[in-house]
């Protein structure tokens, strides 16, 4: 199987504290992966490295068929290359309408001059409408995002992520603050997305992870502790010791 | 599953119709211009003095600079405290030509009386002696190389502020300098420029500055009452066009991106937009607007000297925009017009002194203090400024901040729910 993203031997330390220690990780072009680990295991730092927010001290991060290094690219270049990220707490642009939020995220040219000349085309409107339908915000398109409830903001952010049409989705605790029905819908969207692209889900909630029914990577103290099916890793003694507790 | 009625592409109406405030503003500006023309001396009944027409014309230029400030601060969230430097550079650029061309006419006239026709060198030396006598020099500094040409100096009005902003912005934004550090850096820029110009060997006549700019070369026969109206029209036209261009920039997706940068720039980065490129674009664009505004302002003021680009000038600009209302173009214009005219009234000695018996409040001295208090009051109690009153009428709604503070860029409409 070819790989979309290959992280090898990556280390990063903050003031002497090794947040990521010789981490190696691979994911294919159409694969779902759950990343779990106790607090401080380095899950967020791991995402920061892939998205270019944090530069590692050591190691390689290679992307795509041509294996270009992501380390020399800026956050915006990495995002344009096809890495989309959803943050733990919803970060939508509250002062702007749901429609404006979605149009911002739509996959179009990103340069200032192109954006200055931008006029939404028929297909853009259709895309926005179908996304709004999928995330249940079709009647809220012209409302300000700041007026939405917490759960709706989560949905809007998922919608923005899909609008970017990335090859790799990094999703940080997508189900936080959602009702059971909404969680189910989120699972459906993520599973559907993973058919055509790579999805990495960071999650605390084991029940949610089991529902994703995918390969699991367990992080601990900045490196991979175990990898495999959920059943496989939950039977690993080291995993039980550090994560599941006794 | 997709509702087809919502996917039909909406017919795009002209900008003026989509944003009624643009049309209302342009109508107001035209009416104002017409009324002042009728009341003025140049072409009208002469109820308004020429000097007041000049004050109004200058005010329109300040409004244009405030528009630029609103774009860079109110919309993009970059609290630049150095934009009046670009305004001053625009003034210097046009002032050099005005001074050169007018002195040239005088020198040629006086040399025409001599027996032999003067050589080009003699004329040049004559002009240089006239202009630089006050700083003890008699040769043209290299910076005056293009002063003889109006087109070149007009190009400098746009290019020099633009280029300076481009270089400064590139260095600052590339290093991700933001917030209060960027404000300090822009203050340092305008202070450095002003201190440099204060030196006699800066080539721009040191603290004397450039003077006599109200006299247009070759138009000595045209009375100032006419010239003042012409400049008033030019300023009104520049403000109207500037308003249209700014409204176009902040409408649509570009406006959406810059407001997003103001509210959460790292999120915009993860959407794939180069935040630095957008900031640089806005910074440079607004510097050019300020340059043009300055080039229209100083011929009406008649004199420019380095004190005009002291750091305080740029702070005033921010105060006007804050009092008028950030993040809306008409707010900036209202703030600049209201506060600068009020300032003219107070500092012009027209405001009656208030006698408290034991102490007399003289507004010439106390105006700045009043302005300072009103700035604090607006920031604390009416963060949306005078423009917020218009919201009361139209019931425009802004997100409830749940008491979250306004952040280092005071004013920008941001809402973090991190603590919820």
Task: Set out the domains of chain A in order of their start, with CATH numbers.
Answer: 5-245 (3.40.50.300)
For the stretch B53-81, pLDDT in tens is 999 999 999 999 999 999 999 999 999 99
ipTM: 0.89
Is B1 within 8 Å of A130 when comparing Cβ atoms? yes
Confidence of residue B402 (pLDDT cuts 50, 70, 90): low
What is the radius of gyration, based on Cα positions, of chain B?
24
Closest alpha carbon to B189 in B207, B209, B158, B166? B166
Report domain extents, chain B.
12-310
A129/B3 touch (CB, cutoff 8 Å), yes or no: yes
- Model confidence band, residue B397 (pLDDT cutoffs 50, 70, 90): low
CB spacing of A95 vs B414 below 8 angstroms:
yes
Report the residue of chain A nearest B416, measured CA to CA.
Answer: A91
Contact list in B for residue A122 (CB cut-off 8 A) is 7, 9
For chain B, what percent of residues have pLDDT higher than 70?
Answer: 91
Indicate the average pLDDT of chain B.
87
Write out the residues of chain B at the interface with chain A, using a CB-CB cutoff of 8 A: 1-3, 6-10, 12, 249, 252-254, 256-257, 259-260, 263-264, 266-267, 269-275, 277-278, 281, 397-400, 413-415, 417-418, 420
pLDDT one-digit tens code per residue, B266-287: 999 999 999 999 999 999 999 9
Has residue B410 got a pLDDT over 50?
no
Residue that wins the pLDDT comparison between B403 and B261: B261
pLDDT of residue A233 exceeding 90: no
Chain A contacts of B255, Cβ < 8 Å? none
Query: Could you tell me what percent of chain A has a pLDDT over 70?
Result: 98
- A-chain CB neighbours of B267 within 8 Å are 87, 91, 93
pTM of the model: 0.89
A114 in B contact zone (CB under 8 Å): no
Beta strands in A76-165 (DSSP E): 83-86
What are the distances in angstroms from CA B238 to CA A155, B56, B290?
45, 14, 11
Calculate the average pLDDT of chain A. 88
> Does residue B5 carry a pLDDT above 80?
no
Buried b (16+ CB within 10 A) or exposed e, A23-57: bebbbebebbbbbbbeeebbbbbbbbbbbbbbebe
CB within 8 Å: A53 and B266:
yes
Around Cβ A9, how many Cβ atoms within 10 Å?
A: 12
Which residue, among B166, B271, B274, B328, would best test binding to A if mutated, counting the most A CBs under 10 Å from its CB? Answer: B271
- Taking CA B288 as the corner, what is the angle to CA B286 and CA B291, rounded to the nearest 5 degrees? 115
- pLDDT at B144 (0 to 100): 92
Overall average pLDDT of the A217-221 stretch: 89
Q: Which helix H or strand E contains B381, and what residues bound it? A: helix B363-381
Residue B414 has pLDDT above 70, yes or no: no
- How many helices (H) and strands (E) are present in chain A, helices listed first? 10, 10
Give the A window 27-86 contacts with B, CB below 8 Å: 51, 53, 74-77, 79-80, 84-85
Whether the CB of A123 is below 8 Å from some CB of chain B: the reply is no
The region of weakest confidence among A114-118, A233-237, B228-232 is A233-237
Contact B256 A96 (CB under 8 A): yes
| Cα angle, residue A135 at apex, residues A129 and A196 outer, rounded to 5° | 90
Whether A133 and B398 lie within 8 Å, measured CB to CB: no
């Amino acid at each position: 199987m070819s790989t979309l993203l290959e992280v090898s031997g990556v280390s990063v330390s903050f003031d002497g504290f090794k947040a990521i220690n010789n981490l190696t990780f691979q994911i294919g072009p159409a694969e779902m992966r759950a990343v779990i680990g106790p607090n401080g295991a380095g899950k967020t730092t791991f995402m920061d490295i892939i998205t270019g927010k944090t530069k590692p001290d050591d190691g390689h991060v290679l992307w795509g068929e041509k294996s270009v290094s992501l380390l020399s690219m800026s956050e915006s270049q990495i995002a344009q290359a096809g890495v989309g990220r959803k943050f733990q707490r919803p970060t939508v642009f509250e002062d702007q309408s749901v429609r404006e939020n979605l149009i911002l995220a739509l996959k179009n040219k990103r340069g200032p001059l192109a954006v200055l000349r931008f006029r939404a085309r028929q297909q853009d409107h259709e895309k926005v409408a179908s996304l709004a339908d999928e995330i249940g915000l079709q009647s809220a398109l012209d409302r300000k995002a700041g007026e939405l409830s917490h759960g709706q903001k989560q949905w809007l952010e998922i919608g923005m992520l899909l609008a970017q049409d990335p090859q790799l989705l990094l999703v940080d605790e997508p189900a936080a603050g959602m009702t059971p029905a909404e969680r189910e819908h989120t699972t459906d969207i993520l599973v559907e997305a993973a058919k055509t692209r790579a999805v990495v889900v960071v999650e605390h909630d084991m029940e949610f992870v089991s529902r994703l029914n995918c390969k699991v990577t367990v992080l601990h103290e900045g490196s991979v502790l175990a990898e495999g099916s959920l059943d496989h890793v939950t039977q690993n003694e080291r995993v039980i010791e550090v994560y599941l507790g006794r | 599953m997709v509702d087809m009625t919502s996917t039909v592409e909406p017919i795009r109406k002209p900008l003026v119709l989509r944003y009624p405030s643009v049309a209302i503003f342009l109508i107001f500006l035209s009416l104002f211009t017409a009324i002042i023309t009728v009341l003025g001396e140049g072409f009208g009944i002469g109820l308004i003095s020429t000097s007041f027409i000049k004050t109004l014309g200058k005010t329109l230029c300040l409004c244009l600079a405030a528009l630029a400030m609103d774009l860079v601060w109110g919309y993009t969230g970059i609290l630049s405290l150095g934009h009046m430097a670009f305004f001053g550079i625009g003034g210097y650029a046009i002032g050099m030509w005005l001074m050169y061309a007018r002195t040239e006419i005088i020198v040629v006239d006086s040399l025409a009386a001599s027996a032999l026709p003067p050589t080009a060198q003699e004329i040049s030396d004559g002009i240089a002696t006239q202009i630089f006598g006050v700083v003890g020099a008699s040769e043209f500094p290299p910076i005056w190389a293009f002063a003889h040409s109006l087109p070149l100096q007009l190009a400098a009005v746009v290019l020099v502020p633009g280029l300076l902003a481009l270089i400064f912005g590139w260095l600052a934004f590339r290093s991700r300098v933001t917030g209060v550090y960027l404000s300090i850096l822009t203050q340092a820029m305008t202070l450095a420029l002003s201190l440099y110009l204060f030196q006699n060997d800066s080539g721009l006549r040191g603290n004397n500055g450039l003077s006599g700019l109200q006299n247009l070369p070759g138009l000595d026969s045209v009375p100032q009452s006419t010239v003042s109206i012409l400049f008033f029209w030019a300023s009104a036209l520049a403000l109207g066009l500037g308003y249209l261009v700014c409204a176009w920039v902040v409408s649509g997706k570009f406006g959406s991106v810059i407001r997003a940068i103001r509210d959460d720039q790292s999120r915009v980065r993860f959407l794939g937009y180069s935040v630095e490129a957008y900031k640089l674009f806005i910074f440079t664009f607004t510097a050019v607007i300020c340059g043009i505004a300055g080039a229209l302002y100083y011929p009406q003021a008649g004199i420019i000297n380095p004190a005009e680009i002291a750091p305080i000038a740029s702070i005033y600009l921010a105060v006007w925009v804050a009092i008028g209302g950030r993040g809306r173009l008409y707010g900036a214009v209202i703030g600049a017009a209201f506060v600068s005219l009020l300032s003219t009234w107070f500092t012009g000695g027209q405001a009656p002194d208030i006698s408290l018996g034991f102490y007399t409040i003289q507004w010439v001295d106390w105006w700045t203090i009043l302005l300072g208090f009103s700035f604090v009051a607006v920031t604390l109690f009416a963060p949306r400024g005078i423009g917020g009153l218009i919201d009361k009428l139209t019931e425009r709604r802004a997100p409830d901040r749940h008491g979250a503070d306004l952040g280092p860029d005071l004013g920008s409409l941001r809402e973090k729910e991190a603590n919820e």
